[in-house]
Amino acid sequence: MNALKRPNIRDLSLDELQNYFAEIGEKKFRTKQVYEWLWQKHAGSFDAMTNISKDLRLKLAEHFSLPALTINTTQYSADGTVKSRFKTFDDHFVEGVLIPTEDRKTACVSSQIGCSLSCKFCATGKMERERNLTFDEIYDQVALINEQSERIYNKHLSNIVFMGMGEPLLNYNNVLRAIEKISAEDGLGMSQRRITVSTAGVAKMIKKLGDDNVRFKLALSLHAANDRKRNEIMPINETNNIKALIDALNYFYRATKNEVTFEYILFRNFNDSQKDAEELVKIYRQVPADLVNIIEYNPIDGASFAKPDEETIEKFMKFLESNRVNARLRRSRGKDIDAACGQLANKDNF
C-alpha cells in the first residue's frame, strides 16, 4: 500500500490499537509497548521500536504510516535560544524555538505551515498558508524541543507557547487535540496551566474556547488599541474589531475563569505615544487581563516599522504602571538567528 494511503497509526486511540493487536493475534501487552514508543519515547519510525519483534515492526509498517516530524536544521543564538526548522512528511518546513531563561525552558511552537492573516509586521504573514499542521506534528515539535532542552540544559520544558507560525484558532481541532495529548499522562504529562495559546483575534473561536472550557491560558496579540490603527497592521481586525474581541474575551473569562494576557509590540511613531497608552489602559480595564506584555519590535525584510528609542519605551511603560496596569517589557531572544517574535519565515539562511 502507498505510504500516504496507509492510516496514520497515531490517529488510533489506545483502545483502537488494542483492538488491532487482538485482531492479528498479538498479546495485549504489545499495545502498551507500541503506544509508549509513539507518544513517550517519541519513535520516528517503526524500526526504532527496538523491544518488539522485526516481524511485528514489518506488519505495522505494512498497515500504518508514521509521518513523524524531523529536525531539518538547527541554529543556536548567542543568548542560548535554539531555533529548529522541522520537515514534514510531505516536504514542508515549519519552525519552532527553544527559549531558555534562568527559571523557565519554553517551547514556542507553530500551528500552521505559513499563515493566512498577513499581519504587516510579521515575517510569517508574508508567506502563503500551505496547510494546517496535524495534531501529531504539533506534538512532535514539543517532543523534539523537549529533547533539545534536556540535552542542552538538562531540564524538561516548563512552558509551551503557541506563538510560532500560523494562527492557532484557525487550526482549532488539531491545536486542542495536540494540547490534550501533550498534557496527558500517556503523553508528555505537562500541565495545561503552563501552555499559552496566542491568537491574532478570531472572536468566534475565542468564544468556542470558552464553550469547550479549556484549561490553558489565552493571549491576544493586540498591537494597536484602536480599530483604525489595528486595521492598518492586522487585516483580521476588519472582521474581528476590538469591541467584538473584548466581548469574546469576557465570554471566555466567564466560562473558564482564565485571565487573559495582551501582547503589544511597540512600533516607533505608530502606537507608542501617550494617547496610544491611554487607549491601551481603557481596553485593559474592560477585560479580566492578568498581564500586558510589551514586546520589542524585531525587524523583518520588507517592512518599514522600527523599534522606538529606550526613552519612549520607558515612558510608555511608566504610564501603564502609573495607571495600575500589570505590564512587563519582554526583551526579545534569538534576534541574531531570526528566532524572535514575528521573525519565523523558513528562510534559506539556516
The residues annotated as belonging to the active site are 95, 341
d(CA 30, CA 146): 26
d(CA 203, CA 184): 28
Q: Per-residue b/e over 73-101, b at no fewer than 16 CB within 10 Å? A: eebebebebbbbbbebbeeebbbbbbbbe
Query: For residue 9, which phi and psi values (nearest 5 degrees)?
Result: -60, -25
CA distance between the termini of the chain: 36
Question: What 3-state class would DSSP assign to 64?
Answer: coil
Computed on alpha carbons and rounded to an integer, the radius of gyration of the chain in Å comes to 21
Smallest CA-to-CA distance from 207 within 259, 263, 168, 255 is with 255
Helices marked H in the chain — which ranges? 14-23, 29-39, 54-63, 135-153, 172-183, 203-211, 227-233, 242-256, 274-284, 310-322
Give the strand pairing for 195-199 and 217-221: parallel
And the C-alpha cell for 184?
496527558
